[in-house]
Chain A
Amino acid sequence: MHAIRLAFLAFLLMALPTRAENVAAFTLENGLEVVVIEDHRAPVVVQMVWYRVGAADEPPGKSGIAHFLEHLMFKGTETLAPGEFSAIVQANGGSDNAFTSWDYTAYFQRVAADRLGLMMQIEADRMANLRLAAEDVLTERDVVLEERNQRTENDPGALFSEQRRAAQYQNHPYGIPIIGWRHEIEGLSKADALDFYETYYAPNNAILVVAGDVTADAVRALAEEHYGTLAPSQALPERIRPQEPPQRAERRLTFADPRVGQPYVLRTYLAPERDPGAQETAAALTYLAEILGGEGANSVLGDKLQFDAQTAIHSSAFYDGLSLDATTFGLVVVPAPGVTLAEAEAALDAALAEFLEEGIDPTLFETLKMRMRAAEIYALDSVQGRARRYGAALASGLTVQDVQDWPAILQAVTPEDVMAAAHAVLDRANAVTGWLERPAESRSEVSQ
């Protein structure tokens, strides 16, 4: 049975085409890195500009400034009025937005392919010519405070997650929230935003990704015209953050809030990230997350906690290797009714211990490998997804080569690699374990 199935899978793996990605990369003289992903299925183009700066690069006491600046980048330049940037994009049938992470800040537009030049013109303009009115800055700070209300203050799960990160990273700035601590957002000024902008927004700290119905030659010509004239920064700081020391003792926290509808246990272990030329451990951890906590029935935790014993109603594992510095490997268990968080955590630890003892079912491993490869095929359907993949990787310290090597590195992972990574990472001395629950006095109340 197993032999037949394995032979069948081997056939499929051979049969799945390896597809030329049709990706070009080059660097302008001023240091702007450019990646072009050609996809001519629809007359659409996505332009993304990624800055190699994020929440983990903020000065002490100024948490939230990277994200606040991202908002302010829509508030005008020497030649564009506040809001005019988005108005131009919309007037051309396009949509635009931006996002901030710990390692990057990115801006994007999605438009008809023949409008790319105009998009480059206005994106290059705000790379160099931001102008801010004091009253716009104050109004936008209120918007950011409402954003924090919406995303964090109103959501006990988000508050819990913020506390957990702060406990995880005691030295590295990954411990501060991207949106910023409330008391520090309240003090952010126009001068703070402009200082940050002057320091980090320059072509030699940016990556331009263009994906869609374009050719590399056309993009090169347009990029030279619009971005090529911008002067590089001469004073770009080296990207060195305080590093997290080895964790030597288990950390625990309990977050109680009457707004919690469903309690759960969440544990994150400090874990290695994808590094240039060294992505093998991260690849093994990517498998480990799927094996432990992928979808339900086929995962180790699902099998042991939801099927064998009905201890949990949900379990999962998560790992994202895209990170400039040390990342985390996470596990979640949502207990079944009548099961306490202590019992759920004990069951989780027992399941992990068994897994470390038993190892990986070879059939499931081959299936997973096949799915990883199929995921590459499905991923080709989303132009914007492909653009994000390159932008996020390059902004997180990887190279185009690393991105292109990644699928093959995933295919080369062995069960032994995964078990070695599991033994190295799954150690409670290296983890923060959090319980999210309702306060004792309100647990018996009927929820409203």
Chain B
Amino acid sequence: MSMFRLIALAGLVLWLALPARAAIEIREVTSPGGIGAWLVESHDIPFVALEIRFRGGTSLDAPGKRGAVNLMTALLEEGAGEMDARAFVRARDALAASFRFGSSSDSLSVSARMLTENRDQAVALLRQALHEPRFDADAVERVRGQVLASIRSDATDPGRIAARTFDRLAFGDHPYGSAPDGTEDSVSALSRDDLIEAHARTIARDRIYVAAAGDITAEELGALLDVLFDGLPETGAPLPGRAEYGLGGGVTVVSFDTPQSVAVFGHEGMDRDHPDFFAAYVMNEVLGAGGFESRLMKEVRGKRGLTYGVYSYLYPMDYAALLLGQVASANDRIAQAITVIRDEWVRMAAEGVTEQELEDVKTYLTGAYPLRFDGNAPIARILVGMQMEGLEPDYVNTRNDRIMAVTLEDVRRVAGELLQPDRLHFVVVGQPEGLETTN
């Protein structure tokens, strides 16, 4: 990308299929410095919501440094440039700006809200946090203490134990197989140099995704992007490779003294760019994702009162894909809940969905989709997520057509391929009656 390239408004102006006066116009903006972003301009409220992602996230921890990216990210707001942690927070609060830094297995995220009134100052401050974090010794120790407390709390949380156990069994040594915030030992051992290294590995120009929504023009956004990102390193650590799924069917019980067992279950899923993804999505909506209307909710909760909530969801990540679910039932009822869930897996794999179910789910999914775009903050989040998934802006116009194109036969075929009752694995944390770890 040429440094001298002018802001290209890209000609690509798209309209979400909504009543005309509420249509959402997505513009692709490229800054003079070559950073791309998507913009929905809306001058109703005098602020802008900005969402930034750096692909890679906690999966870019250096070998032996588990938790470095998580701790580094938490320190971005703890002092930058000439400002120590107190001064930084004071400067931010004086502008009434909001910056949230987060990290996940696939990305490092920045969510910002800035008033139009003082946006330039807020952007300058955010730039400092991204470019010049100080990692002062006292701040490192303070935040390290918070991370360690969180790790200790997770260690006695049955839901967390279940999810961590499933991940470990599924992905082993791949970063997806361990807690992104690290262990007490790994976090305790991190040095300031490790944090500087984690920063260099993750925050780089070749992995940036940006979306903005609100009171800002394309020209202003272009300038903002260069203020934020000019001077960041071109590249960081190489992205991780594919994670091999290594778990077979069965049950793993983790004994934990608590009245209600929590189960996480699942097996391999489907990548977001798979041609059958929409059929799988529709199938799972009927199976376990559709609020009170899903088969799992009706069978496990509605008919039998075995749980307060049971869900299944497609979980495509950058380097693996899962079909996951969760349920919690009293220790003397969890075995029955699991039996019902298995039966539903078998039934769906064999029969697919009914014509009525397919029609209902299509109506719901296509009707609900435009309702998501109901504010600057949600719009910016959706737009940055689309970019991370490799979708085009035009997706907002074609998505409902793709849902409508799914046929009964598609769902039956994909259910038969995707759902594998004999590979379904349940990790159960609690004192479940009548359940034991299988081999």
Residues in A lying within 8 Å of B, measured CB to CB: 5, 9, 12, 15-17, 19, 40-44, 74, 82-83, 86-87, 90-95, 110-112, 138-147, 149-150, 153-154, 212-213, 258-262, 295-298, 303, 306-307, 310, 313-314, 334, 336-337, 364, 367-368, 370-371, 373-375, 377-378, 380-383, 447-448
Contact of A377 among B45, B256, B259 (CB under 8 A): B45
For the complex of A and B, 9 pairs with smallest distance between CB atoms = A93-B367, A142-B305, A374-B96, A261-B153, A149-B260, A147-B308, A313-B145, A261-B156, A139-B305
Please determine whether A141 and B293 come into contact, CB atoms closer than 8 angstroms. Answer: no
B85 within 8 A of A: yes
Least Cβ distance of A155 to chain B in Å? 8
Please determine whether A40 and B22 come into contact, CB atoms closer than 8 angstroms. Answer: yes
Given contacts A44-B371, A306-B142, contact A141 B94 (CB under 8 A): no
CA of A182 to CA of B329, assembled, Å: 16
Residues 140-173 (chain B) with a chain A CB within 8 angstroms: 141-142, 145-146, 148-150, 152-158, 161
Contact of A262 among B21, B152, B303, B309 (CB under 8 A): B152
Given contacts A93-B363, A378-B47, contact A154 B370 (CB under 8 A): no
Least Cβ distance of B371 to chain A in Å? 5
Please determine whether B142 and A149 come into contact, CB atoms closer than 8 angstroms. Answer: no
Shortest Cβ distance from A143 into B: residue: B305
Contact of B308 among A138, A146, A334, A374 (CB under 8 A): A146
Please determine whether B22 and A83 come into contact, CB atoms closer than 8 angstroms. Answer: no
CA of A247 to CA of B118, assembled, Å: 47
Please determine whether B89 and A298 come into contact, CB atoms closer than 8 angstroms. Answer: yes
Q: Among B2-10, B198-206, B372-380, which stretch is in contact with chain A?
A: B372-380
CA of A64 to CA of B268, assembled, Å: 41
Contact of B93 among A19, A110, A371 (CB under 8 A): A371
CB-CB under 8 A from A336, the residues of chain B are 145
CB-CB under 8 A from B292, the residues of chain A are 74, 83, 86-87, 90
Please determine whether A9 and B94 come into contact, CB atoms closer than 8 angstroms. Answer: yes
Please determine whether A140 and B375 come into contact, CB atoms closer than 8 angstroms. Answer: no
CA of A44 to CA of B118, assembled, Å: 31
Contact of B363 among A91, A154, A306, A310 (CB under 8 A): A91
CA of A258 to CA of B115, assembled, Å: 46
CB-CB under 8 A from A448, the residues of chain B are 155-156, 161, 254-256
Shortest Cβ distance from B21 into A: residue: A40
B98 within 8 A of A: yes
Contact of A93 among B85, B94, B262, B366 (CB under 8 A): B366
Given contacts A42-B373, A149-B328, A377-B115, contact A313 B96 (CB under 8 A): no
Residues in B lying within 8 Å of A, measured CB to CB: 18-19, 21-22, 42, 44-47, 49, 85-86, 88-90, 93-94, 96, 98, 113, 115, 117-118, 138, 141-142, 145-146, 148-150, 152-158, 161, 254-260, 262, 290-293, 298, 301-309, 328-330, 333, 360, 363-371, 373-377
Please determine whether A146 and B306 come into contact, CB atoms closer than 8 angstroms. Answer: yes
Q: Can you list 24 A-B pairs with a CB-CB distance of less than 8 A? A: A15-B117, A41-B374, A83-B292, A94-B367, A143-B301, A143-B305, A146-B333, A149-B308, A149-B328, A153-B258, A154-B158, A154-B259, A213-B22, A262-B150, A296-B89, A310-B142, A313-B146, A313-B148, A336-B145, A337-B145, A374-B96, A375-B96, A381-B376, A382-B375
Please determine whether A380 and B307 come into contact, CB atoms closer than 8 angstroms. Answer: no
Please determine whether A337 and B148 come into contact, CB atoms closer than 8 angstroms. Answer: yes
CA of A15 to CA of B138, assembled, Å: 38
CA of A72 to CA of B368, assembled, Å: 25
Shortest Cβ distance from B363 into A: residue: A91
Please determine whether A377 and B47 come into contact, CB atoms closer than 8 angstroms. Answer: yes
CB-CB under 8 A from B303, the residues of chain A are 139
Given contacts A146-B260, A262-B149, contact A374 B115 (CB under 8 A): yes
Least Cβ distance of A308 to chain B in Å? 10
Please determine whether A378 and B113 come into contact, CB atoms closer than 8 angstroms. Answer: yes
Please determine whether B94 and A90 come into contact, CB atoms closer than 8 angstroms. Answer: no
CB-CB under 8 A from B375, the residues of chain A are 41-42, 381-383
CA of A259 to CA of B260, assembled, Å: 13
**Which of A5, A19, A91 has its CB near the most chain B CB atoms (within 10 A)?**
A91
CA of A447 to CA of B256, assembled, Å: 10
CA of A142 to CA of B302, assembled, Å: 10
Shortest Cβ distance from B285 into A: residue: A90
CB-CB under 8 A from A95, the residues of chain B are 291, 368
Contact of B22 among A41, A303, A310 (CB under 8 A): A41
CB-CB under 8 A from B86, the residues of chain A are 297-298, 303, 307
Please determine whether A297 and B330 come into contact, CB atoms closer than 8 angstroms. Answer: no
CB-CB under 8 A from B308, the residues of chain A are 143-144, 146-147, 149-150
Please determine whether A153 and B370 come into contact, CB atoms closer than 8 angstroms. Answer: no
Please determine whether A83 and B298 come into contact, CB atoms closer than 8 angstroms. Answer: yes
